[in-house]
Amino acid sequence: MATFSDTGFLLVVTLLKIAVVLLVLLTTIAYLTWLERKVVAHIQARWGPYLVGPHGLLQPLADGVKFLFKEDIVPLEADRAVYWLAPFIGFTLAFLSIAVIPFGEGFTFYGRTITFQITDLNVGLLFVFAVTSLGVYSIALAGWGSNSKYPLFGGLRSSAQMISYELALGLAVVGVLMISGTLSLRGIVEGQSGFLHVHGVNTFLPNWNVLKQPLGFLLYFTAAVAETNRVPFDLPEGETELVGGFHTEYSSLKFAMFFMAEYANMVTVSCLATLLFFGGWHGPVFGPVVLRVFLPVFWFCLKVFGFLFFYIWMRGTLPRFRYDQLMAFGWKFLLPLGLLNVLGTSLVLAWLSSP
Amino acid sequence: MDVLFYICAALAVLAALNVVLQRTPVYSALSLIVVMCALAVVYLLLDAEFMAVIQVIVYAGAVMVLFVFVIMLLNAGRETPGQHSQLARWLGVPLVAALLLEVLTVVWTQFPAESFAPAAALDAGPKAIGQRLFQVYVLPFEVTSILILVAILGAVVLAKKET
């Protein structure tokens, strides 16, 4: 029976978790901008931010203060309601999906189990997809509400792009779902523990889905980069053609909200890639109890960091797609490959399970 | 839980009214999205997480995005009431009221409150829905697929004719 103290405990723990996760996420986003500028700078043989703090480490803080004190300009012809709504939708949705991401296994504390996850939905993966699929409104409405040419083009491009790549994104993970047989993110990670066994022989390779679904992983990551509007798929905001795309007419804190939403989406997508294909928090665990509890969280963060670094690396390396190339790539290459992957995986699974 | 249901139900009805009453197409479309999301919460309250999430993904995340996309592409502004809107107003309201009354009477007489099964007794998980869809209802499912395929082909033919 759930007594009041149980409910109260759950409430306090959940609120604490939300506070900690939000704090960590916001700090990650702030320093992701610093990391991006630094890494891209070094790729291009520059120094990057160097003046504010040692190695420019206080730059995110300075940027934040700048965003806060800039004048907030609203275009005269803008549709006020939609113009205001758009950044809030984007910001809220970007931070919503982190609620179902499991960071680690959890631990028992005085007889109560505390998991490293705000809430474990049994359709957690679909929840993340639902939230990301709503994210397109933020960009589309920002483009329309600004009542200006460039943002409208940016908004239109992004709507088309996100609809196209959502399909490929969904198809890419179907293989993983067929292997794990659950939609719960925790369940998917738990299915990847231990070592990979081929015909009962231990290969001493980690039992990660990326080894069983290499094509699925490539498709997922390509589609995910397009879904988060990052280089080489950043056509909605292409600076050279659209002056910044959907957020051209936004300034001050509202621009910062779009910015933070984009980086939060990058973090979410990297978290999902880690959970679905790279074994989540699984990794070598050793040492005393405290280390055993927090090492999985460390492995998880390390893998997510790897993906984020890869994002930035791509930005420093690849040129932008042309718009028709982007559409053709999504519909004529990624989608058929995704279908083939589903077909192949189901055939192999049926063959393996047949007596 | 009941409070949440009444909030979402009221939100859905108000937003649905707003869809019809708004003169700016984008506001109508946005209100329709609110209806979809409110319905998703109602599904959630009925312990049907899968249905709730699918509702958001398919209706709010895909179908309505296309609506908004088309409205943006045409850059449709405020609509001006034409000749027929007066007729529609005087004829439409009584007709809607009559239809509503009819539906309510049927629901009240045919489905008394005792006849409802508790929501928790039904399995609405992805596995149960998938098995139903591919075993009991496989024919309607496939027929729907063919219907959608035909619609896609029709759209392609229409688009080809334009250029």
Q: B112 in a domain, yes or no?
A: no
Using 50, 70 and 90 to split pLDDT, how confident is the model at A249? confident
Q: Which of B50, B62, B69 sits opposite A140 (nearest CB)?
A: B69
Is A126 within 8 Å of B69 when comparing Cβ atoms? no
Q: B123: how many CB neighbours lie within 10 A of its CB?
A: 12
What is the pLDDT at residue B138?
93
Q: B137 in a domain, yes or no?
A: yes
Out of B49, B78, B107, pick the residue that ends a domain.
Answer: B78
Cα distance from A194 to chain B (closest Cα, Å)? Answer: 27
Closest CA to A37 of A24, A51, A26, A47: A47
- The domain containing residue B155 runs over which residues? 125-163
Is A159 within 8 Å of B72 when comparing Cβ atoms? yes
Q: B113 in a domain, yes or no?
A: no
| A153 contacts in chain B (CB < 8 Å) | none
Is B60 within 8 Å of A134 when comparing Cβ atoms? yes
- What proportion of chain A, given as a percentage, has pLDDT over 70? 96
Cα distance from A319 to chain B (closest Cα, Å)? Answer: 27
Cα distance from A261 to chain B (closest Cα, Å)? Answer: 18
Which of A159, A169, A180 would you mutate first to test chain B, the one with the most B CBs within 10 A? A159
What is the pLDDT at residue A3?
56
| A142 contacts in chain B (CB < 8 Å) | none
Which of B71, B72, B127 would you mutate first to test chain A, the one with the most A CBs within 10 A? B72
What is the pLDDT at residue B73?
79
**All structural domains of chain A with their residue ranges:** 4-353
Q: Could you report the per-residue pLDDT of B91-130, keeping only the tens digit for each? A: 888 898 999 999 999 988 887 777 666 655 667 788 888 8
Which phi and psi (to 5°) does residue B93 adopt? -60, -50
Q: Could you report the per-residue pLDDT of B25-77, keeping only the tens digit for each? A: 888 888 999 999 999 999 888 888 888 999 998 888 888 888 888 888 787 66
Cα distance from A187 to chain B (closest Cα, Å)? Answer: 15
Which phi and psi (to 5°) does residue A121 adopt? -80, 145
Q: B87 in a domain, yes or no?
A: no
Q: B40 in a domain, yes or no?
A: yes
Q: What is the ipTM of this complex?
A: 0.81
Q: How many domains does chain B have?
A: 2
